[in-house]
Amino acid sequence: MKWTAVAAVLLVAVATVAADTDLPHKQQAINRLLNRITSHLPSAYTDLKAAATSYNPRSEAAHFSDGGAAANHLLDEIEDHRVLEQHHWFSLFNTRQREEAIMLVDVLLHANDFETFKKNAAFFREKMNEGEFVYALYVAVTHSPLTQDVVLPPLYEVTPHLFTNSEVINEAYSAKMTQHPGNFEMHFTGSKKNPEQRVAYFGEDIGINSHHVHWHMDFPFWWHGEKIDRKGELFFWAHHQLTVRFDAERLSNYLSPVDELYWDRPIKDGFAPHTSYKYGGEFPSRPDNKEFEDVDGVARIRDLTITESRIRDAIAHGFIENDDGTHIDIDNDHGIDILGDVIESSTYSPNSAYYGALHNQAHRVLGAQADPHGKFDLPPGVMEHFETATRDPAFFRLHKYMDNIFKEHKDKLPPYTKEQLADPNIQITGVDVSNLKTYFEDFTFDLGNALDTTEGVEDVKVTAHIPRLNHEDFTYNIHVHADHAETITVRVYIAPVYDENHIKMDIDYVRWEGILLDLFWVDVKSGDNNIARRSSDSNVAIPDRISFPKLIHDTDAAVAGGGSLNLASGRGCGIPQRLLLPKGTEEGMDFYFDVYISSGDDAVHDDLVSNDHGSTHGYCGIQGEKYPDKKPMGFPYDRHIPDRRVYDSLKNLHTQKVKIFHDPGHH
C-alpha cells in the first residue's frame, strides 16, 4: 500500500514536470534524439535510454489524444516483424516505408504532453529504421504544438550522407579510424566537360536542398491532419520559384533556360551523383540520352502520358471531375490550388483514381531509370529523396514540365485589367537600389553524424567545406506618394532582361520568369513616403541554420545553467538569405527590378505590418495559419500579358533595370 502511495505521488510529480517541460529541456531531448542517429542512444542520456528500454507505450493510453491507438498499431506492426529493418535505406516515395514513417508521426502527434512525445520518440528510435525515424521526428516536431519553439538541426548535419559526396564520406571514415581530425574539400559532382556543371552550385547547394526537404515536411503530400491553407498552390509556387531561379542561374552562366522533360524523348542529361547511402551502396547513375522505360511496380510511361492528358483536358475544359461525377470549376483564382493538389498529387486531390499522381510517379520513374526492372537490386535514385533531388538536372526538367502544365491553366484565365491592377491612391515616384554583388565563399559543416560511434571510443572532429553562393547585403528605398494614409501590400520581383542570345525577352515571357524577392506590408502616410528595405528583411528567405554542434553546445549550456534558450532561428523552410540574388556576371548581368504596390486589403491577417510571422512566408506560408496574401501567388505576373501598355500605365508599378555583378576574386 505504502509503495502504491509513493508511486502515486511520483506520478503526480512526473505529470507536473510533464506539463511544463521548459524549452531548453525540449531542445536538448530533440538534439539527443537526432544525434548519432545510426548508433544506440548512449547511457549518458539517462531519460532517453530509460524510455527506450523500460517504457511501455501500451500502458500510457491516458497520455495520448487517441487513447494510444496509433502507438498500439505501430507496436503491433513491430512485434509482428512487419516494419523495415534498421541499417537499410529509406525513401519517402516507397509506399510501405512511408506508411511506417507516418505511423510514427501519428504516435508523436497524438502525444498530449512533451514527456510522452519524448519517451515515444526514444522508444521507437531503437526499434525502427533510422531514416523513417528521422523523417517522422522532423515532421512531428514541425507540426506538433508541443514543439513549436524547438529548432530542428540542419539536416545536412544529421544525415550528411544525403548532402555530400562519397569521396568526402570515405575521408571522414578514414579520419575516424586513424583518429585524425579533418576538414575535407567537397566538390560539385561532374567535370567541366559537362556544361550542366556550371550550375551545379545551385542544384547541389546544401541550403537549397535543406529548404526543399523542409518544404515537403511542412506540406507533406500524404498529410491527413488539419487542413493546410493553399497547399496545392504553394506546391506550384515554391517549385515554380525554384525553376525560374534555376533559369536565371543558367543565363548568368551562358546556358539556355532549362527545357522541359518529354516522356517520348531521351532524357538528355545523365547524372552521376557521386553519393552513397549510409546503408545501401551508391546512388545509381544515369547516362546521357537514356530512353524512358516503364518501371516495374511503379508506372508505365504510357500511363503517365494518359495522366498528363487527363489533367490537360481538365485545364481545357475548365473543370476537374470529382469521383462522384460532379465538377469543380477551375477557371478562377482558386483553380491553381486544386490543380496543385491534383498534379502532385496530395491527399487533397479530388479524384486521384482518375488524375493519378503525375509528379510523385515521375519522381519515382526518373529515380529508377538506372534499374527499371530491379535486375540489379539498385537502391532508389536521387530523384526519390527530397534531400537529393535538385542535384539531378532532370529535376529541373521535370519541374519545368509541371510548371508548363500550370502555365497552360494560368494562360487560359483572362488577363488582369487596368482596373484590377491600379491603385489610385499610390504613385511610386522612384526606387533606389544599392549595389548588387554576388560572390562565392567557403562554407564548412559538420560530418560527425555520418560516422558510427560507440561508448568508449573518442569522437573525431570531421567537417566538409564547399563553395557556396552569397551576396553583399543590399538595400532599396521605395519612394511612394499616397493621397491618403493606408496600409499597402508591396511585392518585389526581379527577372533577367536578356535571353542566352542577348535578345531582350518579351514581357509575356519574362513575367513568368519573375523571382519574388520580397512580399511585405507597410503603413504609408498621406504625402511622400520613403520605404527602406534591406535584403535581410526579405520574407522569402531564412538566415543560416544554427550548426548542430553549436545547437547542442548552446542547449546544454542553457540546461546546465538553468537559463533560457533564445535561438531565434525560425523555420527550415525558405531559401537561404545568401541565395536571395541570382549569381551575377563580372561585367554585370541585367535584371528588371520591379516593385508593385496594391492596397492593404490584400492582407489576410491584421498584424502583418508589425509581425512578419517568422519571415519566410513568401514560399512557405505561415505555419498553421492562412497564407498572408489574398491574391494569387505570383500576382500581378501570374496571368498572361497580351499588351504591355496596361502594365506600363500603372503608377503603382515601378520597373527599372539593375545590374548584378559577380566578384570572382572574392574569397
220 or 379, CB closer to ligand CUO?
220
Cα dihedral 30, 36, 37, 40 in deg (nearest 10): -100
Q: Which is nearer to ligand CUO, 399 or 545 (CB)?
A: 399
Least Cα distance to 147 among 106, 114, 191, 112 occurs for 114
Q: At what angle do helices 335-344 and 301-317 cross, to 10 degrees?
A: 170
In the complex, minimum distance from the CB of residue 212 to ligand CUO, in angstroms, rounded to a whole number = 6
Catalytically annotated residue among 344, 384, 387, 513:
344
Rounded to an integer, what distance in angstroms lies between the CA atom of residue 307 and that of residue 255? 31
How far apart CA 275 and CA 272 sit, in angstroms, is 8
State the cell numbers at 153.
Answer: 538541426
User: The dihedral of CA 76, 82, 88, 91: what is its sign?
Assistant: negative
| Cβ proximity to ligand CUO, 243 vs 598, nearer residue | 243
Q: What is the helix (H) or strand (E) element at residue 521, kind and residue range?
A: strand 515-524
CB of 387 to ligand CUO, least distance (A): 11
Smallest gap from residue 491 Cβ to ligand CUO (A): 23
C-alpha cell at 603: 492582407
User: Strands, DSSP E only, in 290-425?
Assistant: 319-321, 327-329
User: To the nearest whole angstrom, how small is the minimum distance from the Cβ of residue 218 to ligand CUO?
Assistant: 12
Residue in 605, 607, 594, 603 with CA at minimum distance from that of residue 636: 594
Place of cell 572574392: 666
Nearer to ligand CUO, 359 or 491 (CB): 359
Q: How far is CA 386 from CA 150, 194, 539, in A?
A: 22, 24, 23
When the beta carbons of 339 and 450 are compared against ligand CUO, the nearer one is 339
DSSP state of 600: G
H, E, C per residue of 438-468: EEEEEEEEECHHHCCCCCCCCCCCEEEEEEE
Q: How near is the Cβ of 221 to ligand CUO at its closest, in Å?
A: 8
Residue type present at position 162? L
Neighbouring CB atoms inside 10 A of 419's CB total 7
Compute the least distance from the CB of residue 360 to ligand CUO, in Å.
Answer: 8
CB of 497 to ligand CUO, least distance (A): 28
d(CA 270, CA 193): 13
Q: Considering only residues 274-293, where is the footprint of ligand CUO by CB under 6 A?
A: none
> Among residues 155 and 389, whose Cβ is nearest to ligand CUO?
389
| Cβ nearer to ligand CUO, comparing 391 with 471 | 391
Smallest gap from Cβ 239 to ligand CUO, in A, equals: 6
Enumerate helices (H) and strands (E) in the chain, giving the number of each.
Answer: 22, 14
Interface with ligand CUO (CB under 6 A), residue from 128, 311, 389, 495: 389
**Alpha helices in 159-205, H assignment, sequence order:** 166-178, 200-203
- 71 vs 573, beta carbon nearer ligand CUO: 573
- Total binding residues toward ligand CUO, as defined by CB under 6 A: 8
Torsion of Cα atoms, 575 then 578 then 583 then 587, to 10°: 160
* By the rule CB under 6 A, 400 interacts with ligand CUO: no
Q: Which SS3 state, helix, strand or coil, does residue 482 take?
A: strand
Q: Which is nearer to ligand CUO, 176 or 212 (CB)?
A: 212
The Cα 138–Cα 129 span in angstroms is 14
Strands of the sheet containing 462-471, edge to edge, are: 182-185, 462-471, 436-446, 653-663, 589-599, 486-496, 515-524
Task: State whether the Cα torsion 185-187-193-197 is positive or negative.
Answer: negative
261 touches ligand CUO by CB under 6 A: no
Residue 212 touching ligand CUO (CB under 6 A): yes
Q: Can residue 234 be called a binding residue for ligand CUO (CB under 6 A)?
A: no
Nearest CA to 147 out of 34, 48, 25 is that of 25
Do 134 and 159 form a contact (C-beta atoms < 8 A)?
yes
Cell numbers placing 353:
483514381
Applying CB under 6 A, does 359 fall inside the site for ligand CUO? yes
Least distance in Å: CB of 532 to ligand CUO? Answer: 35
113 or 205: CB nearest ligand CUO: 205
CB nearer to ligand CUO: pick between 102 and 505? 102
Catalytic annotation present for 171: no
Contact 351, 323 (CB under 8 A): yes
Binding-residue pattern over the window 442 to 471 for ligand CUO, x denoting contact by CB under 6 A: ------------------------------
What is the C-alpha separation between 158 and 217, in angstroms, rounded? 15
Smallest distance from the beta carbon of 213 to ligand CUO, in angstroms? 9
Three-state secondary structure call for residue 25? helix
By CB under 6 A, name the one of 363, 511, 578, 631 that touches ligand CUO. Answer: 363
Residue nearest to ligand CUO (CB): 389
Q: What is the DSSP letter of 628?
A: S
Instruction: Check binding of 239 to ligand CUO (CB under 6 A).
Output: yes
What cell was used for 429? 515616384
Residues 37, 129: contact at Cβ < 8 Å?
no
Q: Provide, rounded to whole angstroms, the least separation between the CB of residue 216 and ligand CUO.
A: 6
The residue behind cell 462522384 is 324
State the minimum distance, in angstroms, from the CB of residue 386 to ligand CUO: 6
Between residues 409 and 631, which has the closer beta carbon with respect to ligand CUO?
409
Assigned C-alpha cell, 34: 537526432
217 lies in the binding site for ligand CUO (CB under 6 A): no
Give catalytic residues, as residue numbers. Answer: 344
Question: Where does this chain bind ligand CUO (CB under 6 A)?
Answer: 212, 216, 239, 359, 363, 386, 389, 399
